[in-house]
Chain A
Amino acid sequence: MASIIQVENVSKVYDGGFRALDDVNLSIEEGEILALLGPNGAGKTTLISIICGLVNLTSGSVSVGGHDTIRDYRAARSLIGLVPQEIALEPFQKVLDGLRFTRGLYGKPADPDFLENVLRRLSLWDKRDSMTSELSGGMKRRVLIAKALCHQPKVLFLDEPSAGVDVELRKDMWEVIRQLRAEGVTIILTTHYIEEAEAIADRVGIISKGKILLVEDKDTLVRRMGHREMRIELLEPLASLPDTLAKYSLAQSEDRCTLVYSYEANGERTGIMSLFNDLNAAGIKLRDVDTRQSSLEDIFVSLIEDKPEART
């Protein structure tokens, strides 16, 4: 696949002297869904804002569809639709008027049928004559998406699309995103949640403290991140592990009341069933079982400790 967005050696130092992006390189393939994953303040919004032309870069260059975003900003920006992180809408503007406005900004002739289509797709058609101040938060977010789509962009940026959105709407949104991808739109979204990246992205980029730590196929990454721990609390302390359990390389807690089993959640076999069978056979009684996945923080830590390999 050809790359549609090239970010080369981009750094951003804000007026206060804060370095929000540090020598970022990123190539986004045409037609993919890329999730940018990172904690608060990582620089996700800054990166998106630079590509979209909202923030001036300090050094480096960005091109969209082969057009430099500064020298050839008209061509570059025409390809982009942006759904910002913060809801920012004219309160007294009617939904449909707002869409007409946005479409006009992109120099596109009026196309009522297309706008109707966009609104229907986002279940907003009934609200077309409502003022945005009369809408719920979730509806406002959909209005932002509709605005981003109303000039038929080839690249769509969604900055934290699932912030403040309920499960139902999130699913609908993912559905819209998948449809768009099927139509050939390239999609870049930011998120704090691995689950979200896992659910819809083709590739995942991890960004922290203004640096891109890695960009990887989702499947590879999920496998790498799929590391889980199961904590098994026992009814009675277990002095020593029976030999039959040796193959599980269990860890024991100090008080001997807890066993910890590590496994890969995405592996062919997790070994959980046979572990339980063997525990049962050894006559070990369980009080409780609890599993936890490696958190984003764990992954960051492991990535930072593990840089050479991580920077693939």
Chain B
Amino acid sequence: MNLQAVWSIYRSEMRRFFRTITQSLISPVLSTSLYFIVFGAAIGSRIQEVEGISYGAFIVPGLIMLSVLTQSISNASFGIYFPKFIGSIYEVNAAPVSFIEIVLGYVGAAATKSMFIGLIILGTAFFFVDLTIQHPAAMVAFLTLTCISFSLFGFIIGLWSKNFEQLQLVPLLVITPLVFLGGSFYSISMLPEGWQTVALFNPVVYLISGFRWSFFGMADVNIAISLMMIALFLALCLGIIWWTFRTGFKIRS
């Protein structure tokens, strides 16, 4: 294992993040604040409580997940696509580095970034609502797992994208709707019968539900099932990456 190489990739990716730290943080913090104002204040004044929790607090886990998912995907996909695009990936390809080390470096950095952003948003939330986290350890675990698995997913998108349009397309067409329909801003139980069943096919529902459980001790779906779904997704992404590097490699001709 060439740990030095993993660290080298990780550090240089993190450097890029910190070079643009203001942009990296301003946009999620700003959009979260807007969500609080629009959803928390405007809608919250009508809904007030969901299952005994103030609406403002109720949407916090969903808001964090929303940012963490999109950030993980965009950071990781861009992180590998950019050097491919400008050609500087040749260095990594010519170096004595295995694909596992490449994945660890790039995905590790992307996951760290989105974790960072998730925590910042959590911090921002404390300014707007009263919040107590019932299971902090589970909260951190859920957050970490989500960051890792969706960074892996983003990495796959970056590997396979042939142009910038494709890079934008998946997050736009798939992730945003899944997240919005995944119960970020409402409880699944608030949906009509039929739609509740449909929602169960949305993987994001399990993420948000599990994450919400770590905050409030209540969930739409059983916490064990939530965990299993993340594990499954993680395994699936790992499988795809392994297969990509096995067959086409995608970063080599």
Contacts and interface: CB of A to CB of B under 8 A. Distances in A.
Contact of A92 (B19, B90, B91): B19
Contacts of B92: 105
Nearest to B98: A74
Interface residues of B, number: 28
A248 to B, nearest CB: 54
A90 interface: yes
Interface in A84-113: 84, 86, 88-93, 97, 100-109
Interface stretch (B4-12, B40-48, B116-124, B135-143): B4-12
Interface of A: 14-15, 49, 52-56, 73-78, 80, 82, 84, 86, 88-93, 97, 100-109, 147
A73 B252 contact: no
26 contacts: A53-B94, A56-B252, A74-B2, A76-B96, A77-B94, A80-B94, A84-B90, A86-B87, A88-B88, A88-B90, A89-B88, A90-B12, A90-B88, A93-B12, A93-B15, A101-B8, A101-B11, A101-B91, A102-B91, A102-B95, A103-B8, A105-B5, A105-B95, A105-B96, A107-B4, A107-B5
Given A100-B8, A107-B96, 8 more contacts: A53-B252, A54-B90, A54-B252, A89-B86, A91-B86, A97-B15, A101-B9, A107-B4
A5 to B, nearest CB: 15
B97 interface: yes
Nearest to B20: A92
B83 interface: yes
A54 B94 contact: yes
Contacts of B249: 56
B96 A74 contact: yes
Contacts of B90: 54, 82, 84, 88
A153 B247 CA distance: 30
A17 to B, nearest CB: 14
A168 B9 CA distance: 35
A92 B83 CA distance: 12
B16 interface: yes
Interface in B39-94: 83, 86-88, 90-94
Contacts of B8: 100-101, 103-105
A247 to B, nearest CB: 57
B22 interface: no
Given A82-B90, A91-B86, A73 B96 contact: yes
A125 to B, nearest CB: 21
